[in-house]
């Protein structure tokens, strides 16, 4: 900018008529040199919409063909995909959220009620099983984006809502008055049989700030662990926005102990399989190891940056060190995983940063 101003001034000097203006240009340049720079607030690593921006959105890799091939068809009429994945067990998605319901001889069990489409569920369920009553609604965890549409079931007579007692406690304390509170709560494990179908709910910890559950239907080899992985893709930002990175990393061993073929993890349109858990585990462990080994240089990077900032801004020094390690980690991770999992270039930096912060604190 300074060089440009000087060049402009030189050109102006060549024209006597504009000599007065050149003096102003020189004065402006001199002022800029003596004043401290005006802060240019860094508001984040935004996706760019300008073709010259390195973060230009089209520079991000498209979803991998293997992922696109697995995406189920969404009905133009309902905006939903509905499929019977095992006899009586139905999978529902709007392409962003996922839930399911089970039709038995004694009635219907609904698992989660995402607000993005829960208002369509009663009708969808009625059309699928016209002679059956909804008897149970089970909450996977307390987050509104997965159960916030439960109000549509509230008026069903004789309906029981099942949730972990800590989920119920969190909901009781929240101001979400439109969300019906659980009528049956449990701690630890809760197993029951309904219409001849065993349903096993285990208390777990991998995502929510209070408690998570793993819902398992052994006969259907179906397991539901919401906000864990996204099949075909790397996990969502900060490892499924987990509130506990350590617990998230141990989740893989826990879930792989189950004998399952179908995994409902709550997001994107693709229903998961056992292999999806394994590849996501390998990815998560690779990020943990890659960022972990780079931590050895973290404090050197901080020292260098802090010295460069004349020991005046430790926060900026921290940020510089985090960014440097994050960039090196993300480069390695993207390089290794770009052909195996979709959207790694979108989230690798957040995964690396999550591990860096975890390592600083543990």
- In contact, 134 and 161? CB cutoff 8 Å: no
Q: What is the dihedral of CA 175, 117, 202, 227, to 10 degrees?
A: -90
Residue 32 CB, nearest approach to Zn ion (Å):
49
Residue 137 CB, nearest approach to Zn ion (Å):
17
Residue 170 CB, nearest approach to Zn ion (Å):
12
d(CA 94, CA 75): 9
3-state secondary structure of 82: strand
Interface with Zn ion by CB under 5 A: which residues? 143, 227
Task: Give the CB-nearest residue to Zn ion.
Answer: 143
Nearer to Zn ion (CB atom), residue 141 or residue 262: 141
Nearer to Zn ion (CB atom), residue 99 or residue 132: 99
Assigned token pair, 105? 């001889």
- In contact, 188 and 117? CB cutoff 8 Å: no
d(CA 123, CA 313): 58
Residue 254 CB, nearest approach to Zn ion (Å):
17
Residue 351 CB, nearest approach to Zn ion (Å):
17
Nearer to Zn ion (CB atom), residue 88 or residue 266: 266
Q: What is the dihedral of CA 119, 123, 128, 133, to 10 degrees?
A: 90
Nearer to Zn ion (CB atom), residue 266 or residue 317: 266
DSSP state letter for 114: -
Residue 307 CB, nearest approach to Zn ion (Å):
42
Q: What is the dihedral of CA 175, 177, 183, 189, to 10 degrees?
A: -40
Residue 284 CB, nearest approach to Zn ion (Å):
17
Which residue has 């101003």 as its token pair? 5
d(CA 333, CA 327): 10
Nearer to Zn ion (CB atom), residue 48 or residue 95: 95
Residue 268 CB, nearest approach to Zn ion (Å):
14
Question: What string of H, E and C letters represents the secondary structure of 304-362?
Answer: HHHHHCCCCCHHHHHHHHHHHHHHHHHHHHHHHHCCCCECHHHHHHHHHHHHHHHHHHC
Nearer to Zn ion (CB atom), residue 9 or residue 223: 223
Nearer to Zn ion (CB atom), residue 143 or residue 326: 143
Nearer to Zn ion (CB atom), residue 143 or residue 288: 143
């Amino acid at each position: 900018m300074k060089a440009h101003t000087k060049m402009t001034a030189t050109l102006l000097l060549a024209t006597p008529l504009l000599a007065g203006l050149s003096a102003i240009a020189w004065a402006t340049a001199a002022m800029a040199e003596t004043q401290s720079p005006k802060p240019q607030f860094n508001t984040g690593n935004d996706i760019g919409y300008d073709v010259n921006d390195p973060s230009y959105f089209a520079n991000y890799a498209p979803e991998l063909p293997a992922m696109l091939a697995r995406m189920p068809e969404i009905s133009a009429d309902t905006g939903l995909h509905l499929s019977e994945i095992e006899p009586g067990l139905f999978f529902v998605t709007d392409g962003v959220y996922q839930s399911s319901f089970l039709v038995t001889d004694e009635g219907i069990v609904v698992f989660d009620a995402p607000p993005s489409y829960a208002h369509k569920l009663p009708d969808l369920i009625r059309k699928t099983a016209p002679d059956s009553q909804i008897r149970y609604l089970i909450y996977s965890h307390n987050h509104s984006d997965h159960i916030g549409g439960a109000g549509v079931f509230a008026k069903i007579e004789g309906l029981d809502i099942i949730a972990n007692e800590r989920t119920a406690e969190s909901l009781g304390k929240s101001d979400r008055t439109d969300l019906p509170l659980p009528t049956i709560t449990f701690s630890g494990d809760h197993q029951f049989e309904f219409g001849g179908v065993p349903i096993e709910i285990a208390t777990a910890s991998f995502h929510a700030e209070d408690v998570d559950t793993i819902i398992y239907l052994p006969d259907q080899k179906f397991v539901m662990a919401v906000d864990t992985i996204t099949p075909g893709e790397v996990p969502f930002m900060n490892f499924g926005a987990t509130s506990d990175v350590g617990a998230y990393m141990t989740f893989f061993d826990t879930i792989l102990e189950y004998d399952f073929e179908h995994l409902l993890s709550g997001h994107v349109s693709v229903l998961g399989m056992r292999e999806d858990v394994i590849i996501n585990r390998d990815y998560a462990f690779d990020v943990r190891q890659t960022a972990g080994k780079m931590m050895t240089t973290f404090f050197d990077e901080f020292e260098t940056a802090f010295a460069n900032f004349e020991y005046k801004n430790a926060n900026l020094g921290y940020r510089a060190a985090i960014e440097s390690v994050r960039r090196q980690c993300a480069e390695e991770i993207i390089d290794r995983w770009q052909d195996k999992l979709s959207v790694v270039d979108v989230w690798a930096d957040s995964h690396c940063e999550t591990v860096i912060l975890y390592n600083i604190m543990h």
